[in-house]
Structures are given as structure tokens and as C-alpha cells.
């Protein structure tokens, strides 16, 4: 049995916001990834899912945040984001067209 995970298990979803779309102009895309995904796994998954060349992967771990809804207090879950830089001139059209 192979220890490699399927790319869709590693990449959860792209972040489509106003700020993240500004990064697409310079060839960077932001994804929410699995909590234990490594940079090498993220690079391989993006290459397989979108058929692009990944130059660089930066990872950011965001902690839980306290929130309130009415009088109820709770904490959000941890989030791991990956900022992926693509090779010069390459884009992921599925993400930029979604906006």
C-alpha cells in the first residue's frame, strides 16, 4: 500500500477573496491544505491537480480564534494555508474564472 495521499486529500479548497485575487496577478495562489501536509506534498498535489509548475510553497499555520455568537463562546478550528508561487507566465484559470 502506498503512503502517498491523493491530491484532493491534501488540497482542501482555494481561498477566493479580494486580497488573494490580488496575488494572482503576480502568480501566487492561496489554498487551505490538510493540517499535516508537507511542502513537498503540496507542491506535488498542485502540479497534479492543475497541471502547472510550482516554483515555491510557503505555509502558514493559523491558530484557533475565540468567537462569540450571542452569549455563546466557542473557538474556530486551526487552519493551515499554503501560498503557492507558479512558474513565470502560468496561471490556474479555474480559480481566476470563479470570481
Q: What is the CATH number of the domain that holds 35?
A: 3.30.70.330
Q: CA–CA distance from 25 to each of 7, 12, 40, 84, 92 (Å)? A: 25, 22, 24, 13, 11
2 inside domain: no
1 inside domain: no
Domain count, the chain: 1
68 inside domain: yes
50 inside domain: yes
- 41, 36, 98, 65 alpha-carbon torsion, rounded to 10°: -160
pLDDT value of residue 99: 57
pLDDT tens digits, 23-72: 999 999 999 999 999 999 999 999 999 999 999 999 999 999 999 999 99
pLDDT value of residue 95: 79
51 inside domain: yes
Domain range enclosing 25: 7-97
Q: What is the pTM of this model?
A: 0.86
Amino acid at each position: 500500500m502506498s503512503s502517498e495521499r491523493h491530491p484532493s486529500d491534501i488540497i482542501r479548497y482555494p481561498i477566493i477573496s479580494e486580497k488573494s485575487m490580488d496575488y494572482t496577478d503576480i502568480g501566487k495562489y492561496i489554498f487551505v491544505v490538510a493540517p499535516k501536509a508537507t511542502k513537498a506534498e503540496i507542491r506535488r498535489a498542485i502540479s497534479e491537480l492543475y497541471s502547472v509548475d510550482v516554483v515555491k510553497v510557503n505555509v502558514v499555520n493559523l491558530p484557533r480564534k475565540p468567537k462569540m455568537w450571542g452569549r455563546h463562546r466557542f473557538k474556530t478550528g486551526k487552519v493551515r494555508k499554503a501560498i503557492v508561487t507558479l512558474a513565470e507566465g502560468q496561471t490556474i484559470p479555474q480559480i481566476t474564472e470563479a470570481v
